[in-house]
Structure 1
Amino acid sequence: MTLALVGDIGGTNARLALWRDSQLSAVRVLPTVDYATPADAIRTYLAGLNQPVEALDSVCLACAGPVQDDEFRFTNNHWRISRRAFSAELGLRHLQLVNDFAAMALGMTRLDLADRVVVAQGEADPDSPCLVIGPGTGLGVAGLLPLKGGGWRALPGEGGHVCVPVGSAREAALWQYLSQQVDHVEAESVLSGRGLLTLYRACCSLDGVEPVLQSPAEITGAALAGDAYAAGVLEQFCAWLGRIVGDNVLTLGARGGVYIVGGVIPRFVDFFLASGFLDAFRDKGRMSRFLEAVPVWLVTADYPGLTGAGVALEQLLEDG
């Protein structure tokens, strides 16, 4: 029996699963820091299932970063992978490396209605692209393009590294402070897990507040528990996300809708839905009406990136 394996590898975790009959099975999450290479993590995963490495035939890995040449370097962890060496080491017939947010985008094509929460009502244009965006270890951005005759094509990019927009005097002050700390104030600087902590410390510095919270989880927990200052920081996080999402919708022409994904926002869904995200999203002057028609969903599915890697593998095998 041959095995098909899919992986969704981010800065912190490698999510691995078997792909059988267009479904995920045996999902496991392994910390990337615990393994020297992706191949080591896969061997550990298969050993835990009592499956021999020799049975492995096809692999698709969704990788955080731009996927181009033979050697790939992960953006937010220490792993590297050579397509040729990796295939030879594991004895693979088929290997597919895809950008992690391209896989995330493809995962939206298999999403159940129960796996998304409506953030903004709208009428999706079935002939227009969709935007897939979300903060996690970094900030991922991808497009999803409908094809004539059915099917979808993912459009990967590195939109998490665009400049942070400034839409208020407060944001201008925060940008100025951040520009003194880093060479490039990119969206990911504030719109990610570690970005939330950076944003909190920047706010504290500007306001003369002692920074007592030491992690993104502590900031979120304090905000949800009623800490007014932490709630203000989280509100700024949501507003800045709204601006970035709106910019991307206008750039892509994403009238097909927006899928907000990643591991950060699902931790405070009710807060997010009540935040100023939508006001910031639509705050585009004469283009605000364009954005009012665009539906927005928050994705709560457990492993959409893994599912998307499976879809990408199916496409590879179907194409021969």
Structure 2
Amino acid sequence: MASKKPGSKSGPAEASDDKVLTTGDLSLIADIGGTNARFAIVTADGKIIKARTLACADYRDPAHAAQSYLEGAGLPQPREACFAFACPTHEDRIRMTNNGWDFSRARTKEQLGLQRLEIINDFMALALSLPHLPASSLRQIGGVRQVGKLPVGVVGPGTGLGVSGLIPHKGGWLPLDSEGGHASLAVSGRRETSILLHLEHHYGRVSAERVLSGPGLQALYQSISLLDGKAPQELAPAEIVARATADDDEACREALEIFCALLGSFAGDFALTLGARGGIYIGGGIIPQLGEVFTASDFRKRFEDKGRLSSYVAAIPCYVITADYPALTGAAAYLQHS
């Protein structure tokens, strides 16, 4: 699915010259999740430059964060922007699912002095980046690389669980604006059922995002520890991954194994639902960091374990996205083509 992309490599590239940028040259783009807000500039010739990551907790709203970014980069006020948020974005009032930001898109446009402000879902932006990603920024796991335009899906655990896709449409692609990460979680076997019942006691309904996310990995580890009669430690997701890969903590190891397996089941279900014969792409902040640990996990086994439709799913390739800041590329593409 690789082709030419806005920007130069697998992520935003710094401009190669020191030309003075003016307001008319600039578009502001952002990928804003539950933890971090990544900003960059798109120049008039389509280059993505001056990427910077800010902590959402340091700012009261996206306008405040954007103003800090522009001032820190010494940039003039842009005329247009596209912000990709990890939450529903179809109304004027936007409430972030995994942080405290609650704001108005109209007010944000006014605060930033923009002539145009587009706000889209972050995984819709990630989906829009897929046609522009070079093959070198994709690591295939199973299946057969497809030729031609077929529906594709994208999923990714991070602070939450993002879901989107692309459908071939009139010679281009139609992105899906989805909140599929909040679909109910499906488990398999006694151990996973015991963990699900434990989580239901705590949360009530257990969505896929409750488990397939950074906080979800913590919840898995805590549930496994308690079910085994052990007191869980206060571990960050990165610490759980580190202990699991070092194989020096049984609960961490099992938590990561089940995490990868459940993600495989979820991604396989999504592939069936969408008819994503072009592939399932995996992004987010967790899986690309796992490397061969993820490849060797039960992800692909569970992805293909679909009973009478196993042969259908077995042909569908999965790709781990290793590009830096791909959603920024998608936000730039949305500004250009919407």
CA distance in 2, matches of 1:58, 1:273: 40
Q: Which amino acid aligns with 2:106?
A: R
Report the counterpart of residue 311 of structure 2 in structure 1: 289
Secondary structure of the structure 1 residue equivalent to 2:202: coil
Secondary structure of the structure 2 residue equivalent to 1:156: coil
Q: Please say if residues 125 and 331 of structure 2, whose CA atoms lie closer than 8 Å, have aligned partners that are also in contact.
A: yes
Confirm whether residue 113 of structure 1 aligns to residue 135 of structure 2. yes
In the superposition, the TM-score normalised over structure 1's length comes to: 0.95
Deviation, structure 1 residue 124: 2.1
Confirm whether residue 193 of structure 1 aligns to residue 226 of structure 2. no
Deviation, structure 1 residue 213: 5.4
Query: Which of 165, 180, 205 is the matching residue for 2:201?
Result: 180
Tell which deviates more after alignment, 85-94 or 294-303: 85-94
1:225-278, Cα deviation, whole Å (9 max, x unpaired): 122512222111100000000110111111010100011012211110001111
Report the counterpart of residue 256 of structure 2 in structure 1: 234
CA distance in 2, matches of 1:296, 1:124: 11
Query: Which of 20, 33, 41 is the matching residue for 1:18?
Result: 41
Query: Which of 53, 63, 70 is the matching residue for 1:29?
Result: 53
CA distance in 1, matches of 2:170, 2:265: 31
Secondary structure of the structure 2 residue equivalent to 1:27: strand
- Runs of 5+ in structure 2 lacking a partner? 1-21
Matched residues, number: 313
Q: Which amino acid aligns with 2:206?
A: V
Q: Please say if residues 119 and 295 of structure 1, whose CA atoms lie closer than 8 Å, have aligned partners that are also in contact.
A: yes
Map 1:47-86 → 2, pairs under 5 A: 47-53=71-77, 56-86=78-108
Report the counterpart of residue 156 of structure 1 in structure 2: 177
CA distance in 1, matches of 2:225, 2:237: 14
Secondary structure of the structure 1 residue equivalent to 2:203: coil
Q: Please say if residues 239 and 280 of structure 1, whose CA atoms lie closer than 8 Å, have aligned partners that are also in contact.
A: yes
Deviation, structure 1 residue 172: 1.0
Secondary structure of the structure 2 residue equivalent to 1:236: helix
In the superposition, the TM-score normalised over structure 2's length comes to: 0.90
Q: Which amino acid aligns with 2:144?
A: G
Instruction: Report sequence identity in percent.
Output: 45
Q: Please say if residues 67 and 112 of structure 2, whose CA atoms lie closer than 8 Å, have aligned partners that are also in contact.
A: no
Report the counterpart of residue 268 of structure 1 in structure 2: 290
Query: Which of 198, 222, 230 is the matching residue for 2:243?
Result: 222
Deviation, structure 1 residue 210: 3.1
Report the counterpart of residue 45 of structure 1 in structure 2: 69
Deviation >6 Å, runs of 4+: none
Query: Which of 112, 115, 118 is the matching residue for 1:90?
Result: 112
Tell which deviates more after alignment, 288-297 or 201-210: 201-210
Secondary structure of the structure 1 residue equivalent to 2:272: helix
Confirm whether residue 243 of structure 1 aligns to residue 265 of structure 2. yes
Secondary structure of the structure 2 residue equivalent to 1:97: strand
Secondary structure of the structure 2 residue equivalent to 1:263: coil
Confirm whether residue 145 of structure 1 aligns to residue 164 of structure 2. no
1:116-154, Cα deviation, whole Å (9 max, x unpaired): 1111131426342101001000000001112232x2111
CA distance in 2, matches of 1:23, 1:254: 31
Q: Please say if residues 242 and 279 of structure 1, whose CA atoms lie closer than 8 Å, have aligned partners that are also in contact.
A: yes
Report the counterpart of residue 192 of structure 2 in structure 1: 171
Report the counterpart of residue 3 of structure 2 in structure 1: none
Secondary structure of the structure 2 residue equivalent to 1:65: coil
Secondary structure of the structure 2 residue equivalent to 1:17: strand
Q: Please say if residues 125 and 255 of structure 1, whose CA atoms lie closer than 8 Å, have aligned partners that are also in contact.
A: no
